[in-house]
Amino acid sequence: FDVFPNVESYVKRSWDSETARDVEVLPQMEAILYEPLWQFTDSDIQTIRGEIDFLKNGGKP
């Protein structure tokens, strides 16, 4: 509770799942596709893109 002095302040600053997905998760997943450090194979990239599409569709195939 160093940053948030009480539960109410924590909840007020929290994001719902959709916002967290759109603001944090998807941009990071999309960025990692082009990160040479990971040396993803074509199959890996297809898998990650599939997961991105899955999340963009609200968790529906």
**Total domain count for the chain?**
1
Is residue 31 situated within a structural domain?
yes
Tell the burial category of 8 from Cβ atoms under 10 Å away from its Cβ (0-12, 13-18, 19+): exposed
Percent of the chain with pLDDT over 90: 59
- pLDDT surpasses 70 at 1: no
Whether residue 48 lies inside any domain: the answer is yes
Is residue 52 domain-resident? yes
Alpha-carbon span 52 to 42, nearest angstrom = 15
- In a domain? residue 6: no
Give percent of the chain above pLDDT 70.
Answer: 97
The whole-number pLDDT of residue 11 equals 76
pLDDT of residue 3 exceeding 80 = no
- Domain residues for 39? 16-56
49 within some domain: yes
The rounded mean pLDDT for the chain is: 88
